[in-house]
Structure 1
Amino acid sequence: MELHLVVDPGQADLVGQLCRQIRGLIRGGHLAAGERLPPTRLLAAQLGLSRKTVAEAYARLAYERLLEGRPGSGTFVARAAPPPAEPRPSLASESGADARIARWRALTLPLRHPAPQGGARYEYIGGAPEPRLFPHEAWRRCMQHGLRQDAARSRGQYGPAEGLPELREAIARHLAFARGVRAEASEVLVTNGAQQALDLLARVLVEPGCTVAVEEPGYLQARLLLQAQGARVVGVPVDAEGLIVERIPAEARLIYVTPAHQFPLGMPMSPARRRALLAHAQRHGAILVEDDYDSEFRYEGRPTDSLQGLDEQGRVAFVGSFSKTLSPSLRLGYLVAPRPLIEAVANAKHLADWHSPLPAQWALARFIAEGELRKHIGRCHQAYARRRALLLEQLAGPLAPWFEAVPIEAGFHMAALACRPLDMAALLSLARRVEVGLYPLDVFYAEGAPRQGLVLGFGAIEALDIPPSLERVREVLLQLDG
């Protein structure tokens, strides 16, 4: 191992310089207990010092019990825990960015998922697909293909900001089949998840002070992201048919919607509302951002085409990802939009992170082309359909005195509205004590009076766990009623 040490031979006490830097690496945790240091001869050659100087520094640190020599093996960081690291200086108290830093630190992000060790035994968190259904063998084979392609064709170099042509073509074909999206490969941009697609659109389309419209209740990350760009964000209420178009401000230049599976309530936008929304966008010169986050899992009713597929005027930017269909950890998503907008967003992506990882792009292109994605969605659909049915049974049966389900046709979360006032904080806390992770609906309201209820994700919980876990919730509710 080559240590990052800088010794100034023009200054006195070379041994002291070495000791201070190695001591700092150990106390700062950058050299772990038991880690081997370079031999004195090698380190002396790297630093242009005499071997005697390095040996003396090692000896001094051994005397301080920070290093230990092992005959025949070398010099190692002592196994005993080093003293605590010296505190690092904090940001200057009168920084010119204090106000902005404070605003970002104060953000409330209710959709942050718990750490793997922090979740409950029975988790109803939304947006989390079933990890046990992930097609490990098929993905491993495609990933090996991706690594070979990256070595042979990309040659480990930078790639296009828009994404690999092979993946853009595969995404365009898949969306045409699955969601009725009409787009050429040149109108597809590969992103690091749908969240980056939203971020890039906000950078390109939003200016400080401009008005944008979002659903109320809605996806808070989208609202916060738009506010971070300086937009005036207006919440537009939804009803059983989706976004109420008449309530959209005329000056809104960007309108964010989830028409296939409204987040978080779950109902689809009616055909009449879709037509009215497209007409509004055309009349007022607005861009519609259609977040199609999990609509490929459909359980009943006639499949509805995307808003983008109905658009004849080039007003819709269609956003999606493979986080729900495959795995959030892959961080692969896409944006479909008219070519001028794609070219502008591609420039923004180039400045942000240049491009998404190429081996994973090669792998996903092969995974889609070989039909593995469609097969995987089919397997997941069966599992999620069973869980959805069990949830509806429980909400219509044992939990009916307290909650009413909002009907959903797609996705893998549903909302359960409270039938009467509840102490939601106590419910969530007591449910957590009996190993059930529940999540409230009211955090997704930013304006006006929120409705009480739960958002029940059923991607991360086994079907067999649903009845016993909700029986625990029922017992908690009975306790609260008592």
Structure 2
Amino acid sequence: MEPLTLLQFTRPDPGRTETLVSQIYADLRTGMTSGAIPVGTRLPSSRRAAAILGVSRNTVNTAYDLLRAEGLVEIALQRRPVVTGGSAMPVVDMRAAPLAPTPPRVASNWTCDHREPCFIDRNGAMAPGRPDPALFPHEAWARTLRRASRHRLAAGDFAPPSSPPSPSLPALREELARGLARDRGMTVDPSQIIITGGTQASLALVALVLARPGDRVLMEDPGYMGARAAMLGAGLVPEPMPLDEEGARVPPAGDRARLVYLTPSNQYPLGHRLSLARRLAFIDHARRTGAIILEDDYDSEFHWRGREIAAMHALGSGREVIYLGTTSKALAPTLHLAWMVVPTELVKPFTQAQRNLGMMANLQIQAAYGDWLASGEYRAHLRRISRCYARRGAMLAERLREAFGKRVSLHGPDGGLQLALVFRAGQDEDAALQALHAAGFSPSRLSALCLQAGMTGLVIGFADATEQKITRFCDTLAASFAGAETP
């Protein structure tokens, strides 16, 4: 695509309400889905596109990564992105609907097109957020699954004949409610828990049920790209919330965003914990403005330093916060099992929407996980892997500080399965990623998780990090730094 052609499709304007990333992403997506940008077209490199459009390279990289998440472009190292699809995908103009002056309706009978979740295949070592498959309790889980398979799992077994089949298993809801009270300080009725096929499904349901296309959603910057993709997929407009040592900053009093997405226990990817003062301030903001907080508690099981604060949901009235949990970090992402805690009055519309969209979790997996929680085997497994992950995270952080000193900065890790290594000036993110991928590692690009933060660096997983892997990782990264600094 020549420079003049690129400007025909997108002219990002800092004066508009949408972020530059959202403008570039939406404009190029419209061109691809309408066929105006044909399949096979090669887009300019991120460096060239940034120069043409007058924006930062991080802004272009993030827009390109969002297009890749939807399967619209293919991106390979040292090659210009190529358009791979889009003509069959419906166009969603995120700027078409202004913010509604009254709270949006709760939709439970819409139809929705499918959009790819924002996951990137990472087969290498030390990928962020991925548990060590070697620590998965295969034998114990197999026994539990066999027990569950002996039960009759027809949908009618879980609801009276006159009621629609329940997408969520009551026994699992009860176990989860007990666990949330014990571990997260939450008092919820089991009926408030909606079981889904993953956090991505939970986020998509929230966006589609509680908001309209064009509504604004505030998101941590940098932040979880999968959440951003779910919101964009529902036609919402993500806007950045900057971070500091206390976590995300509370929006101004007059802000009227519909949703506020937070990872308060272990901010993804920087690892800051949202302070208690900030948590209370966010809840107060939600009460005054009618916003709904999405509390993604994706890895609160892994907490390495300091005293954990209760879940945000436990600090409010139960109406300001929707709580999101998952098994993907403590067990495996491939189980596709997650849950939401929603206000009582929203249980019916969420359940109806879940049925309409077919976004239910496998009942046999639900039964097995509920049995495992009840037996105590899950908590024993969690204690074992927590000790292991804590050692590996501390070892990785120590080696990175020893090897790179003031050339980088990193926080923690205080918990979770990954840490963010932020580059100082002069460190080349592209060169580091290329070298590490060639050596068999799969860290994430920090700049791709930014809306406006402008950070570069790596998000590094340590769940599968051994001493040998860490040594090889540091040596490879040091060599890439040395190569980038050579005149």
Residue equivalent to 1:282? 287
Identify which of 366, 372, 379 aligns with 1:374.
379
Residue equivalent to 1:36? none
Asked whether the equivalents of residues 117 and 229 of structure 2 are also in contact (C-alpha less than 8 Å), the reply is: no
Look up the SS of the partner of 1:208 in the other structure: coil
Instruction: Return the alpha-carbon distance in structure 2 between the equivalents of residues 434 and 194 of structure 1.
Output: 31
User: How far off its partner does 1:109 sit?
Assistant: 7.2
Look up the SS of the partner of 2:369 in the other structure: helix
What pairs up with 1:15-26 in 2 under 5 angstroms?
none
Deviations 1:225-247 (A, max 9, x none): 21222223221111111111034
C-alpha change, 1:391 and 1:342, in structure 2 (3 Å) is same
Instruction: Return the alpha-carbon distance in structure 2 between the equivalents of residues 160 and 240 of structure 1.
Output: 46
Residue equivalent to 1:360? 365
Are 1:460 and 2:464 counterparts? yes
User: How far off its partner does 1:434 sit?
Assistant: 2.9
Look up the SS of the partner of 1:478 in the other structure: helix
Look up the SS of the partner of 2:251 in the other structure: helix
Asked whether the equivalents of residues 416 and 454 of structure 1 are also in contact (C-alpha less than 8 Å), the reply is: yes
Residue equivalent to 1:135? 137
User: How far off its partner does 1:422 sit?
Assistant: 1.5
User: How far off its partner does 1:125 sit?
Assistant: 1.3
Asked whether the equivalents of residues 150 and 362 of structure 1 are also in contact (C-alpha less than 8 Å), the reply is: no
* 229-238 or 372-381: bigger deviation: 229-238
Instruction: Return the alpha-carbon distance in structure 1 between the equivalents of residues 253 and 118 of structure 2.
Output: 26
Are 1:197 and 2:202 counterparts? yes
Residue equivalent to 1:320? 325
C-alpha change, 1:200 and 1:379, in structure 2 (3 Å) is same
C-alpha change, 1:402 and 1:137, in structure 2 (3 Å) is same
C-alpha change, 1:458 and 1:480, in structure 2 (3 Å) is same
User: How far off its partner does 1:399 sit?
Assistant: 2.0
What pairs up with 1:69-108 in 2 under 5 angstroms?
99=91
C-alpha change, 1:350 and 1:461, in structure 2 (3 Å) is same
What pairs up with 1:179-218 in 2 under 5 angstroms?
179-218=184-223
Q: Mark the runs of 5 or more structure 1 residues left unpaired by the alignment.
A: 1-89
Q: Which has the larger radius of gyration?
A: 1
Equivalent residues, number: 381
Instruction: Return the alpha-carbon distance in structure 2 between the equivalents of residues 206 and 299 of structure 1.
Output: 36
Look up the SS of the partner of 1:245 in the other structure: coil
Instruction: Return the alpha-carbon distance in structure 1 between the equivalents of residues 131 and 437 of structure 2.
Output: 21
C-alpha change, 1:255 and 1:99, in structure 2 (3 Å) is closer
Identify which of 236, 241, 266 aligns with 1:231.
236
C-alpha change, 1:371 and 1:160, in structure 2 (3 Å) is farther
Asked whether the equivalents of residues 130 and 329 of structure 2 are also in contact (C-alpha less than 8 Å), the reply is: yes
What pairs up with 1:24-63 in 2 under 5 angstroms?
none
Instruction: Return the alpha-carbon distance in structure 2 between the equivalents of residues 463 and 229 of structure 1.
Output: 43
Instruction: Return the alpha-carbon distance in structure 2 between the equivalents of residues 293 and 149 of structure 1.
Output: 30
Deviations 1:272-314 (A, max 9, x none): 1011001000011111110000111011101211101111252
User: How far off its partner does 1:423 sit?
Assistant: 1.6
User: How far off its partner does 1:92 sit?
Assistant: 12
User: How far off its partner does 1:328 sit?
Assistant: 0.6
Q: State the TM-score, normalizing by the size of structure 2.
A: 0.73
User: How far off its partner does 1:162 sit?
Assistant: 4.2
Q: State the TM-score, normalizing by the size of structure 1.
A: 0.73
Asked whether the equivalents of residues 312 and 321 of structure 2 are also in contact (C-alpha less than 8 Å), the reply is: yes
Are 1:476 and 2:484 counterparts? no
Identity across aligned pairs (percent)? Answer: 33
User: How far off its partner does 1:436 sit?
Assistant: 3.1
C-alpha change, 1:228 and 1:92, in structure 2 (3 Å) is closer
Q: What's the Cα RMSD here?
A: 2.8
* 252-261 or 179-188: bigger deviation: 179-188
Residue equivalent to 1:29? none
Aligned-partner residue type, residue 130 of structure 1: D
C-alpha change, 1:360 and 1:279, in structure 2 (3 Å) is same
